[in-house]
Amino acid sequence: MQGKRILLGITGGIAAYKIASLIRLLKKSEAEVKCIMTPASCDFISPIVVSALSENPVGIEFWNKKDGTWNSHVDYGLWADIFLVAPLTANTLSKMATGSCDNLLLATYLSMKGRTIVAPAMDLDMYAHATTKRNLEQLQGDGVQIIPAESGQLASGLEGEGRMAEPETIFDFLKNATVITEQYWKGKNALVTAGPTYEAIDPVRFIGNHSSGKMGYRIAQELLNRGASVTLVSGPTNLTLEHPQLEMVKITSAEEMLEAVQSAWSGVDVGIFAAAVADYRPQDVADEKIKKSEDSMTIELVKNPDILKWAGAHKKEGQTLVGFALETNNVKENANKKLVSKNLNLIVMNTLQDVGAGFGVDTNKISILDNRNNFESFELKSKSKVANDIISYLENYIS
């Protein structure tokens, strides 16, 4: 971590005492460390300890009331490669999720140029609360990486999820985030397709599917986290994603998705096609809303373009292509056929037979097959972790 500039934001939770060990690990690895503390966190760990270990003054207030010196949140935001908020309390989480800015730490978050990573720490019920989950989702959608809380003994005496990840785990996470990322993804362009497509029947009706887009958005997020530039071609979803290196292209139909992919393709290093494209569309789209008249009606469907197949047919040296397969039977055999016929490098398989995998849910269970005949199965995991597995597999494949 030599020369990496880590800005540590400490908030008022009991886990703040563990931050001393984290600072020591960072300093030992030759990272530069600066710290900002919320006023509440000073009750849990002394700023003197933090300042002595980090070998830098600690920012707590916007102004030094004695001499009027300004602690510039803008300068902190420009200085840091990574802003790590640990521990992240429910209170600071909710303020970050809504853009509140009533202390130096929050103002710095809003001024950050590099990426932000958070390590939540709270009691069992607080961590499990719907509001906390919603706020964490919001942060993730805003491009923040989350180091999940762990299970174990909590300060309240309760046992369960909510403990801040151990300093060693946080340190490893930061190391991966800074070192591996730069090696593979800096300067690389990735294209991700996500979500469903809607195929119009008339101005108010369409043929669609249950895809939420979560898998594709998590993949785009993971690529951004690792330093890639990403074009996300997204069908209609309720999701948001914002990042300086993200180009979001919103489309509705398969034909529009094909057009977006075609116009970006020549500059793409890696294409990951996670969209659930409608295979067919109505042959004719009515100009006016169709009135009900007969007891039955027939809609003539025609085949949509296979966007992934188009990309495979136009794949040049140096481009890597990843497709998805949602199979219900003969999973590996069918996926292999798609890998070959669409000229893919990797195919990610999931089946609807696995509980918790597939459409609409937050978890997925995948296996990956590549065109060098390697095969790997993964456990049921959150879609963020699945995205992490896919991109890590891809890194090994490319290198």
Return residues touching ligand CTP (CB under 6 A): 193, 254, 273, 275, 277, 279, 304, 306-308, 323-326, 338
What positions carry a catalytic annotation?
A: 209
The Cα–Cα gap between 117 and 86 comes to 9
Tokens read off for 85: 């908020």
Tokens read off for 167: 């300093």
If the CB atoms of residues 123 and 199 are measured against ligand CTP, the closer one turns out to be 199
Shortest distance, position 360 Cβ to ligand CTP, whole Å: 17
Shortest distance, position 151 Cβ to ligand CTP, whole Å: 35
Shortest distance, position 264 Cβ to ligand CTP, whole Å: 14
Shortest distance, position 254 Cβ to ligand CTP, whole Å: 5
Shortest distance, position 218 Cβ to ligand CTP, whole Å: 15
The Cα–Cα gap between 146 and 121 comes to 11
If the CB atoms of residues 59 and 312 are measured against ligand CTP, the closer one turns out to be 312
Q: Which amino acid is at 359?
A: F
Tell me the CA distances in angstroms from 159 to 127, 155, 196, one per residue in order.
12, 9, 40
If the CB atoms of residues 84 and 219 are measured against ligand CTP, the closer one turns out to be 219
Question: Is the separation of the CB atoms in 369 and 375 below 8 Å?
Answer: yes
The Cα–Cα gap between 294 and 267 comes to 50
How would you class 392 by CB atoms within 10 Å of its CB: exposed for 0-12, middle for 13-18, buried for 19 or more? Answer: middle
If the CB atoms of residues 12 and 358 are measured against ligand CTP, the closer one turns out to be 358
E strands along 68-215, which residues?
82-88, 115-120, 145-146, 150-153, 159-163, 189-194, 199-200, 206-207
If the CB atoms of residues 181 and 209 are measured against ligand CTP, the closer one turns out to be 209
If the CB atoms of residues 8 and 239 are measured against ligand CTP, the closer one turns out to be 239
Tell me the CA distances in angstroms from 162 to 150, 159, 189, 307, one per residue in order.
6, 9, 36, 43
Strand partners, 276: 196
Shortest distance, position 304 Cβ to ligand CTP, whole Å: 5
Q: Which residues contact 276 (CB under 8 A, 6 or more apart)?
A: 195, 196, 197, 209, 211, 235, 326, 359
